Structure 1
Amino acid sequence: MMTLEIDRRGAVDWVTFNRPDRLNALSPELVEALHEYFDSLSRDTDTRVVLLRGAGRAFCAGLDLGATGGGDLDATAHLAIQRRVSEIVLKMRYCPQAIVSLVHGPACGGGFAMALASDIRIAGASARMNAAFVRIGLSACDIGVSYFLPRLVGASLAAELMMTGDFIHAERALQLGLVSRVVADEDLEVAAEPLLDAMLTTSPLGLRLTKECLRMSIDAPSLEAAIAMEDRNQVIAGSAPEFQEGVAAFFEKRRPAYAAELVKRTKR
């Protein structure tokens, strides 16, 4: 059985963590499959949006402690494994595709980190997320959580969640803006469809530049730096054929037709 299933639907990859018997915990095989997949996205101009979800009862329960054998490793080997897992969220942030996570059930530890590293999060009613690391004798600052969480919910709540390892459930996550909406678990895929369709009406270049600029603006040293990036992106996008098509579609009150290759791919 493949630990990572990829269902290509036109310009959207539906990517499923597929270890339901282990609540989709991150085994070495799943970690390597995620690396291989996200590495491929940097060269993929057909895929515009990635949707992440988990099979069975969970999004991802974190690292599979029973499969790592970490207790017998020296510091150098342990660091290599640690870095290999952490680099997944770096690749998620740097890939040009928008990433939407459909979170249901447990999203713990590394699963929490991957949800936080996504661009958009939709929660099922059963979703419960936590920085599980601190509950097993580790620091809660792991796999980018100490970077993403304070930026999403503020320093005080991030400290509370990370210093206790307490779960944040779907409704509170919605109130705090950690997720954009909450729906019944069985409605997650249906809830994602209008969002995916709306993103696919944007130009391929414009969507990629938006993700890049959002990522860089979070850490921009000043308003001037953020505006300089915005200006640069608008000049690039405004010089591309998609801009003329977008303007024409606006005035003609129709859906824009940006990329012929996406139409061809959908018909395969």
Structure 2
Amino acid sequence: MSFVLVDRPRPQIALVTLNRPERMNAMAFDVMIPLREALERVSADNDVRVVVLTGAGHGFCSGADLQGAGRVPNTKGLTTTTVARRSMDLLNDVMITLRRMHQPVIAAVNGAAIGGGFCLAVGADIRIAGEDAYFRAAGINNGLTSTELGMSFLLPRAIGSARAFEIMLSGRDVDAVEAERIGLVSRTVPTAKLLDTCYDLAERIIGFSRVGTELTKRMLWSGLEASSFESHMQQEGLAQLYVRLTTDNFDEAIRARRDRRPPHYEH
């Protein structure tokens, strides 16, 4: 059985599904390693313009697999401490791979996003929730920290520090209605319409130029890490000039608007 599925529900859209519904798509290594490999393959596929990430069944991803984490590869002869360090690296690699994907990634959060699953959702570029979705920074509830897989970096930037501190220190659930209200997700829709909503958004993005969308994604993430407003504006300007001077996309957009037709961008 494959624990990660990759489908093409519509042209130029890849649907990546965590496929272990009986365990709420928990982050066992036999799920996360195939997920990283699948994301790498999809990122390198030039026929894919947008990626949708979701979970099978009634959960998005429930975080740590409490029944069994699976086998960590290439750890024979290592101490427990070193195995733990290698294990964390493998999970971190999933988040880094998600961040580095060329295509915009939409998280279709169809149910529980707990612990590392919450991190996975926040690591996507866009989040849309089904009405059954909820989010929990669960580490604090289990005697650990809620800071894992970049969560203490990502969540304050997504919803502001005040809300992030409260959610991560309390370990409480954030339902789909609240998630939309505080900006954790772009919108909440009926669960039955979740994937189609994501596909419709993906098709809108696909209508723009590839280089434009890829650089917009890169600049948005770069801005979250920027230490200087002025230096980041310089990076934005260079990205804009790059597209303007190396493609005909701007002129094509003007012509298409004048001719009342869809633009045909260079990709």
Deviation at 1:3, TM superposition (A): 0.6
1:58 and 1:104 in contact (8 A); partners too: yes
**Cα RMSD for the two superposed structures:** 1.8
CA distance in 1, matches of 2:251, 2:116: 42
2:13 and 2:199 in contact (8 A); partners too: no
1:203 and 1:246 in contact (8 A); partners too: no
Deviation at 1:68, TM superposition (A): 1.9
CA distance in 1, matches of 2:22, 2:68: 14
2:18 aligned with 1:17, yes or no? yes
Q: TM-score under structure 1 normalisation?
A: 0.91
**Which one-letter code corresponds to 1:242 in the other structure?**
N
Amino-acid identity (%): 34
1:132 and 1:140 in contact (8 A); partners too: yes
What residue ranges of structure 1 are gaps of 5+ in the alignment?
A: 261-268
Q: Which residue of 1 aligns with 2:148?
A: 142
Q: Which residue of 1 aligns with 2:221?
A: 215
Q: What secondary structure sits across from 1:168 in the alignment? A: strand
In the alignment of these two chains, the number of paired residues is: 259
Q: Which residue of 2 aligns with 1:105?
A: 111
2:49 aligned with 1:48, yes or no? yes
Q: Which residue of 2 aligns with 1:32?
A: 33
CA distance in 1, matches of 2:255, 2:205: 18
What residue ranges of structure 2 are gaps of 5+ in the alignment?
A: 72-77
CA distance in 1, matches of 2:32, 2:256: 42
Q: Give the 5 Å matches for 1:28-177.
A: 28-68=29-69, 74-177=80-183
CA distance in 2, matches of 1:28, 1:110: 12
CA distance in 2, matches of 1:253, 1:113: 43
CA distance in 1, matches of 2:98, 2:226: 19
CA distance in 2, matches of 1:171, 1:81: 34
CA distance in 1, matches of 2:70, 2:3: 19
2:240 aligned with 1:240, yes or no? no
1:170 and 1:182 in contact (8 A); partners too: yes
2:2 aligned with 1:2, yes or no? yes
Q: TM-score under structure 2 normalisation?
A: 0.91
